[in-house]
Structure 1
Amino acid sequence: MKSAAVPPAEVDFSDPGAPVAPAFGDVYHSRAGALAQARHVFVAGNGLPARWRGRERFVVLETGFGLGNNFLATWDAWRQDPARCERLVFVSVEKHPLRREDLVRAHAHSALPELARQLVDHWPPLTAGLHTLNFESGCVELLLGLGDARELLRELVLQADALYLDGFAPQRNPELWDEWLLKSLSRHAVPGTTAATWSINRPMRRALASLGFEVELAAGFASKPEMTVARFAPRHLPQRPAGREPLAPAARRAVIVGAGLAGAACALALARQGLACTVVDELPGAAPASSGNPAGLFHGTLNPDDGPHARFNRAAALATQALLAELGLPHQQGLLRLETRRPLDAMQGVPGYVQALSAQAASALAGTTLAHPAWFYPGGGALAPAAYTRAMLNASGAALLLGQHVAALEEAVDGWRLLDAQGHLVAEAPLVVLAGGHAQLPLLGELAADLVVQRGQLTHLPAAPWCPALPVAGEGYAIADGQGGLWCGATTQDGDLDPSLREADQADNLARYARLAGLAAAPRAPLAGRVAWRLIAPDRLPLIGGLATPGEAAEQLRLQPRRPGLVVCTGLASRGITWAALAGRLVAALALGSPRPLEAELLDAVDPLRFALRRRRKPGR
């Protein structure tokens, strides 16, 4: 059984100059100094800063994040270099990450106090999977993989420019140095990728050489006379999966169709990668459709097997939490999800992400009586999706082209042309992102058949007899409006396009509200609320990725050739607030070829071609 939680490191700080990992019987760094060792062995050992100069993006891949000194030293070198690359992406894996309080202790006397403080401030909950931490307005990115390196390295989708090999000593931590793991690392190398480590372990050097690296010994640090440096120069280039190639690697402009949550998040993520963005929508304002609802929830999920849905939702919820903090957007902080089906001790919470509370403890947080125990998501909450959309659009600096209907796409030599119903040009760019709702279905071609348009009606209760201080979800939800009332809902009707408020749907919403509140009967209220539509995939996950090249069908998603310059980001269902930030980041990575913020298995789980592949594998079903 998988677990959402990652076992933290136990660190012995009795010798502040050389913290020890008792489980491995080894020190985290040389007594001669952590930063000095990092600068000599890893930064200089990989030819930095010279090798990143003139580059748009430089990617470092590290085994063993430890105390984070290698990251801090590399970040500092980037900061100090006036000719630095535009963006530094530092990817690191760690099986036993530090608790936040231990990270504070490790850097209490750091020679880089400002950078160390930022690292501590951004430190994530210790949950399995990839965490994206942004610094320097997104120009420095730490992609931190928490879990077993032997599993995570297989799941990373990236091409590294430099490798930092920094596990504990090979005799004490052999799993980070054997040929199997080094082969996994080499899959992320390209010709010219360098590697460096303080170790001169002979089996490690032989393995690197057998994998296509030119291996040398160099002057070591402090008491170590030698260290290992290497450069990837294989005789034969490994074939890259067609479905993992970037869709528009040279694009400097993008057009996003859809001015809701998905479109705004895509514009922000692409703008942070240096692209000039234009957002097009046929309606006259931003957040026009379901993104215009007055309030909505965001939170992760938890299940006993930590399957793809739970992992994707967790990654998305943490990405939303981080982006809201960056934007400084006010919102209701914290969320309670009532648990009525199974005992809470059947699953373990994760500190900082989700906590199991008794009915009494949950009631204390809610400021009102709750009849059931609950999961408390401290980073979850509620906000107005329209405010979130506007904040992302403002931060992106995107140009808005509103009131413009896009009826067709036309492939051009240098990208795509967007045409209106009369065939007139609306916009053109090397990269187009389709990030709209159900009105955009005609542009999706065959993908439209894989999506269901679902009507939802939510209800406003102006004077609520039960009004929790925190958003509460379960069978339905309740979100205080700040004026003594609340929003509750929401109904679900597939294929229903009726835009009018309906008494029967309001009665359903109020009945769910009464069950949440433990009321004997549903309250009466005048008909008030809002109707909107969601796009939902059969497996309740979004569609994010490229479209198939016409006439080419592969047996694996990662082998499927894609149409260049075109990305889909849709099907955000009722989780648009939760999913948007991660979806936008993923769109930018898929388009430009930067390290993907999700593991390969989760990329497949949200790939828009997954349903077509399943149909090919099971004809007639």
Structure 2
Amino acid sequence: MTALAPWALTPAQVNFSPDGPPEAPEYGDLYHARAGALAQARHVFLGGNGLPGRWQGRERFVVLETGFGLGNNFLATWDAWQQDPARCARLVFVSTEKHPLSRDDLQRAHAASELPALAAQLVDRWPPLTAGLHTLSLEAGRVELLLGLGDARELLRELVLDADAIYLDGFSPKLNPALWDDWLLKSLARHARPGTTAATWSIHRPMRRALASLGFEVGLAPGFASKPEMTVARFAPRHTPQRPAGREPLAPQARRAVIIGAGLAGAACALALQRAGVACTVLDALPGPAQASSGNPAGLFHGTVNPDDGPHARLNRAAALATQSLLAELGLPHQAGLLRLETRLAVAQMAAVPGYVQALAADATAALAGASLRQPAWFYPGGGALDPAAYTRALLAASGTATRMDTPVAALRETAHGWQLLAGDGAVIEEAHLVVLAGGHGQLPLLGALADEVTGGLVVQRGQLTHLARTPWQPAVPVAGGGYTIADSQGGAWCGATAQDGDLDPSLREADQAENVARHAALGGLGASAGTAPLAGRVGWRLVTPDRLPLIGGLAAPGAPATQLRLQPRRAGLVVCTGFGSRGITWAALAGRVVAALALGGPRPLEADLLDAVDPLRFALRRQRRPGR
């Protein structure tokens, strides 16, 4: 019997009717009013929240919805934004859905949409049905749909955002009480700020009483179609809730940023910040972009799975799907699909998640790899391999950012107006309200001077990659597992890679070459027939953290350290984005979005516990709690 993997979701079961709205048989309710989904969305949710008027002239407007359903509320909001010449610069729509539609059902639901162009884009960007947050970037990043797939009761607790408007939607309170009870409404109220509005078609009395008790001014307004009334509300608490110090935006008013590091991390931060309205300049000590850790000629990107779906698996899944989406948007050529071999596949009976991962038996693995393999594997159809330098250049080009190469930064100096970047002689190179430290191991002295508690435990790891000009086996798709092999375009392959901590030797070594060739032979089932090859390849260095997760976030402000990451005040205008190890391609796209959200205060594209998992101060806090360990 096939078990449901912990990262997979149960898709919605939808009954389509030729003469009425789709129905959800699990709840015994319709997805929208018979009078029309878009008309209902415009009257209840847009009108009930004072839109589009309330977003006019704003830099960013955030909508939070319970129950994405068919997506009609989102489409109506997006359409209203498009049609409004005084619209906000950026619209962020955050929605949760426990049972999302499959792509095929979503396409069927919008086959006769009144907004065919927008509906088609939604269907095209629809993510694999995996648990967690998915960011769908639209309108060149000016519209974002942050889709939380999973139980709203769990997701609302983990969201980090301030909502300007709340759409209370879902199946009837009598049929789906979990989406309307006091506990869930209290979770919603945590994301409200004074002036936040809410609207729903329901006039359920317990819901209205709960909203009032949470600090909302609750009223009734003319309803839609057959409903004479609907509920509208405005958050006006007697006491303003205090945001945890560690969740305050680091540079909310920044309109310009300087990013140190022109590799994958820096380029991805530049794109995300530019899309959030911040002009960027990228500096690097080397002559050109992607000449250090991001300079390998080929590299992998893919998620990971484990039976308990812990933080590593969740972060890698979110990051891999973000990369997959961004590569499609950029149109960057790459090798699509990746096999991750397993010595034993304990979860081989778990259900596949279309678009994300599939468990393959040994014979299917061998057929896909084009090799004599006897191992099962995870197949990631959205993973693959690409040239990281080409990816870096594409990110920089898409961001339109200015670059300054051959520009080493010796120190940072905080001023009343932000940060100054200093050369070795003390001269000011640049200054800005926001600085992002996105270099690799070469930036350790700069980072250590600012926060030595962050650099403790970081390891500079040497890696040698080998190029085989000719090989008896060239993988049909990239193959990984105890090493990796990636086909080149001339009948050869790139394979590797070694890992030596603290080794700064830049020369290619025969012993490492032999190790990589042996890995290639094992991955391809070649036995001893791989033979030898002329010494060729590349040496690079990775910056690796003790827990093998990146460092993304702010640094501690001067003063006594807090006992929790979320309570720790941070240095204004400074963000760290580094420690990518061997996962730079996989992590860059998501990391850039996290940096932009942390800096400017937008909805975070990661759950709160995953933000803690990548926080640069996590190791110092652990040492504080367990001194001597």
Counterpart in the other structure of 1:524: 532
Tell whether 2:569 aligns with 1:566.
Answer: no
Instruction: Report the secondary structure of 1:613's partner residue.
Output: helix
2:111 corresponds in structure 1 to: 108
Q: CA deviation at 1:432?
A: 0.1
Which moves more between the two structures, 564-573 or 443-452? 443-452
Per-residue CA distance 1:570-606 (angstroms, 9 max, x = gap): 0000000000000001000000000000000000000
Secondary structure of 1:533's counterpart equals strand
State the shift of 1:170 in Å: 0.3
Q: Which residue of 2 aligns with 1:242?
A: 245
1:466 Cα deviation after fit: 1.1
- Check whether the contact 1:17–1:33 (CA below 8 A) recurs between aligned residues: no
Name the SS for the 1:465 alignment partner.
coil
Deviation at 1:346, TM superposition (A): 5.4
> Structure 1 residue 589 and structure 2 residue 597: aligned?
yes
Query: For residues 480-559 of structure 1, what are the structure 2 equivalents within 5 Å?
Result: 480-521=487-528, 522-559=530-567
CA distance in 1, matches of 2:545, 2:599: 22
Q: Determine the C-alpha separation between the residues in 2 that align with 1:164 and 1:541.
A: 35
Give, in angstroms, the shift of residue 174 of structure 1: 0.4
Separation in structure 1 between the aligned mates of residue 601 and residue 560 of structure 2, nearest angstrom: 22
Separation in structure 1 between the aligned mates of residue 350 and residue 326 of structure 2, nearest angstrom: 28
For the pair 1:407 / 2:439, whether they are aligned, the reply is no
Aligned position for 1:609: 617
Task: Report the 3-state secondary structure (helix = DSSP H, G, I; strand = E; otherwise coil) of the residue aligned with 2:14.
Answer: coil
Q: Deviations over 1:263-291 (max 9, x none)?
A: 00000100111111000000000001020
1:474 equivalent in alignment to 2:477: no
2:263 aligned with 1:255: no
Give distance in 2, aligned partners of 1:379 and 1:574: 18
Per the TM alignment, residue 345 of structure 1 is displaced from its structure 2 partner at its CA by 2.0
Q: Which of 21, 24, 46 is the equivalent residue of 2:24?
A: 21
Q: Secondary structure at the match of 2:566?
A: helix
1:579 to 566, 576, 587: 587
Aligned residue identity for 1:476? G
Distance in 2 (CA, whole Å) between partners of 1:23 and 1:494 is: 54
**Inter-partner Cα distance in structure 1 for 2:503 and 2:256:** 37
Do the aligned partners of residues 138 and 360 (structure 1) sit closer, same or farther apart at CA in structure 2, a change above 3 Å counting? same
The letter of the residue matching 2:627 is: P
Distance 2:368 2:89 in 1: 45
Cα deviation, residue 347, structure 1: 4.1
The answer to whether the 8 Å contact 2:257/2:279 transfers is: yes
Q: Tell me the matched-pair count.
A: 621
Q: Which residue of structure 2 aligns with residue 191 of structure 1? A: 194
AA at the equivalent of 1:261: L
Instruction: Report the CA distance between 1:238 and its aligned residue.
Output: 1.1
3-state DSSP class of the match of 1:287? coil
CA shift digits 1:18-56 (9 cap, x unpaired) = 111000010000000000000000001100000000100
Counterpart amino acid of 1:320? T
How far off its partner does 1:362 sit? 2.0
Deviations 1:362-415 (Å, cap 9, x if unpaired)?
222223332211111010000000000000001111111100110100001111
**For 1:30-429, what aligned pairs fall within 5 Å after superposition?**
30-345=33-348, 347-429=350-432
Which amino acid counterpart does residue 217 of structure 2 have in structure 1? E
Residue deviations 1:293-339 (CA, integer Å, cap 9, x gap): 00000000011001100000000000000110111100001111111
1:120-172: CA deviation from partner (whole Å, max 9, x where unpaired):
00000000000000111100000000000000000000000000000100000
The one-character-per-residue Cα deviations of 1:338-357 (angstroms, maximum 9, x if unpaired) are 11133442544322100111
What is the CA-CA distance between 1:17 and the residue it aligns to? 2.3
Structure 1 residue matching 2:314: 3-state secondary structure: helix
Could you tell me the percent identity over the aligned residues?
78
Q: Which amino acid aligns with 1:281?
A: D
8 A Cα contact 2:465 2:538, kept in partner: yes
The equivalent of 2:468 in structure 1 is 461
Contact between 2:62 and 2:164, CA under 8 Å: does it hold in 1?
A: yes
Quick one: which amino acid aligns to residue 417 of structure 1?
Answer: Q
Distance in 2 separating the partners of 1:551 and 1:205 = 44
Secondary structure at the counterpart of residue 564 of structure 1? coil
Structure 1 distance, partners of 2:368, 2:520, is 18
Q: Distance in 2 between matches of 1:472 and 1:505?
A: 19
CA deviation after TM superposition for structure 1 residue 512, in Å: 1.1
Amino acid paired to 2:601: G
Q: Distance in 1 between matches of 2:22 and 2:260?
A: 52
Q: Helix, strand or coil: the match of 1:18? A: strand
Distance in 1, Cα, partners of 2:352 & 2:262: 36
Offset, 1:2: 7.5
Q: Please tell me whether the aligned partners of residues 552 and 560 of structure 1 are also in contact (alpha carbons under 8 angstroms).
A: no
Letter of the 2:106 partner, please give it.
L
1:441–1:448 CA contact under 8 A, matched in 2: yes
Alignment partners' CA distance in 2, 1:249 and 1:615: 31
After TM superposition, the structure 1 stretch with the greater mean CA deviation from structure 2, 33-42 or 332-341, is: 332-341
The normalised TM-score by structure 1 is 0.99
How many angstroms apart in 1 are the aligned matches of 2:262 and 2:477?
Answer: 29
Letter in 2 for 1:334: G
CA distance in 2 between counterparts of 1:162 and 1:217 reads 17
What is the Cα deviation at residue 77 of structure 1?
0.4
